[in-house]
Amino acid sequence: MGYLERYIGSRMSSALDTSAVRAQFPILGRQVHGKPLVYLDHAASSQKPVAVIEAQREYLMHYHSNVHRGAHALSQQATDAFERARSTVQYHIGAEHLEEIIWVAGATDGINLVAQAWGREHIQSGDVILITCMEHHANIVPWQMLAEERGAKVEAVNILEDGTLDDDDFQEKLKLGPKLVAFMHVSNTLGTINDAQRLTKMAKGAGAVVLIDGSQALPHMMVDVVDLGCDFYVFSGHKAYGPTGIGVLYGKKAILEAMKPWRGGGEMIDVVSLKNGTTYAGLPHKFEAGTPHISGAIGLGVALQWLTGLGLKSVMDHETILSSQARHQLGKIDGMRFIGSAPSTSGVVSFVVEGVHPYDLGTLLDQQGIAVRTGHHCTQPIMEHFDIPGTVRASFGAYNTLQEVDVLVQGVERALKMLR
């Protein structure tokens, strides 16, 4: 069965065979502090299946070469694999054109590319950039830096106590006429799934260009950028069962064509002349200066094929069951407070316990082999909103089980007996 057939088939739901999934992740068989590893830090970085590991290994061992400019066999083989991965991304997110897929180092890199290559050209003194209070720092700081440079202003949409966006505040701030609206598809801290299509339609109705940070959406749900209607969409490979150091910026072709390159160097040029200056390559290469992360792109393509083969609806259903069960069981613990309780959430459970610092709880869970994330999760405005120093965050992937939820709950109870 080809990739496209698997992609279409992913719209059909069936229960995950978790044992078969887990067997594809060698790291899950190890122990930490003498205990079986329970990895609940998927939102920070997912583990990698054997298919991804072997794809990178195969490239490095058998056909490593630089791409595009070589006439020899290894270069041609590497180029073919590299560009097939780009095609895989195109199909996976429903982009109309292959050249709309730009390889970047990750979502952070993609956002910075847009801030520099699009923002410097279009954001002027007095303009408004609209973000939200639930954003990852990667979707805040680049816009603050751009605003400071250009004399613009960054406004942020408030969030409600359940971790959803304040719709009234969003509509009110759209009246400011923002040039750009940037928001996350799914919150890495709250688990909130934003109605990205609706938000995009409203923002574009106000005349804004729209960028969506899809880092926490792509590993869990179907993403169709044409259906969403956004101008830019970014995601990181390492959160989607792929390698670190690779990600994707999708941009509408007409917008990308009008943008000037951000970085200069090899690959992004057409002709370089000391006398007549430089002309640039077309899309997508004008935004891909230098030698790319070739094995990373190949690995990411395989990761998306692997994920699609599981069935994204099945993955989402599985993770929803896990997070719902975790909330149900953890909610019985005295002093438990969940941060984020939106009606529509991904596989993230973020919580604090009265009188206990998240770091202390996370450290004691680690001693039991349970890997969770503690701290502000690169979302300090959320912590400020809820007046907390940070949270304990358990986040689930396709390889997690209900038994691991039980281990988490028991681990929290055990740790609290030691702390109280």
Question: Under a CB-based contact definition with an 8 Å cutoff, are residues 89 and 302 in contact?
Answer: no
Q: Looking at residues 27-52, what average pLDDT do you find?
A: 98
Question: Under a CB-based contact definition with an 8 Å cutoff, are residues 163 and 348 in contact?
Answer: no
Instruction: Give the list of residues 6+ apart from residue 312 with CB closer than 8 angstroms, or none.
Output: 10, 11, 220, 221, 222
Does 303 have pLDDT greater than 50?
A: yes
Radius of gyration of the chain from its Cα atoms, rounded to whole angstroms: 22
Euclidean distance between CA atoms 308 and 7, whole angstroms: 6
Q: Which two tokens stand for residue 414?
A: 């055990």
3-class secondary structure per residue, 291-327: CCCHHHHHHHHHHHHHHHHHCHHHHHHHHHHHHHHHH
CB atoms within 10 A of CB 307: 23
Q: Looking at residues 209-220, what average pLDDT do you find?
A: 98
Does 10 have pLDDT greater than 70?
A: no
378 catalytically annotated = yes
Euclidean distance between CA atoms 125 and 118, whole angstroms: 15
Strand-pairing partners, residue 209, are 180
Euclidean distance between CA atoms 110 and 128, whole angstroms: 20
Does 8 have pLDDT greater than 50?
A: no
Q: Looking at residues 294-319, what average pLDDT do you find?
A: 97
State phi, psi for 391 to the nearest 5 degrees: -135, 165
Instruction: Note the pTM of the prediction, 2 decimals.
Output: 0.95
pLDDT of residue 70: 83
pLDDT of residue 6: 36
Segments making up each domain of the chain, as ranges? 3-49+311-419, 56-308
Question: Under a CB-based contact definition with an 8 Å cutoff, are residues 338 and 327 in contact?
Answer: yes
Which CA distances in Å does 235 have to 16, 76, 117, 189, 317? Answer: 24, 27, 18, 16, 21
Euclidean distance between CA atoms 212 and 195, whole angstroms: 11
Q: What percent of the chain has pLDDT over 90?
A: 95
Q: pLDDT of 244-266, one tens digit each?
A: 999 999 999 999 999 999 999 99
Residue 5 confidence class, pLDDT cut points 50, 70, 90? very low
Q: Looking at residues 85-105, what average pLDDT do you find?
A: 98
- Which uninterrupted H or E stretch holds 3? helix 3-9
Q: Considering the domain 3-49+311-419 in this protein, what is its CATH number?
A: 3.90.1150.10
148 or 69, higher pLDDT: 148
Euclidean distance between CA atoms 64 and 76, whole angstroms: 10
Mean pLDDT, the chain, rounded, equals 95
Residue 175 confidence class, pLDDT cut points 50, 70, 90? very high
Q: Which two tokens stand for residue 186?
A: 């799914």
Q: Which CATH architecture has domain 56-308?
A: 3-Layer(aba) Sandwich (3.40)
State phi, psi for 243 to the nearest 5 degrees: -70, 165
Q: pLDDT of 324-374, one tens digit each?
A: 999 999 999 999 999 999 998 999 999 999 999 999 999 999 999 999 999
pLDDT of residue 84: 98
User: Which one of the listed residues 378, 381, 388, 406 is annotated catalytic?
Assistant: 378
Residue 14 confidence class, pLDDT cut points 50, 70, 90? low
pLDDT of residue 420: 80
Residue with tokens 């997070």: 323
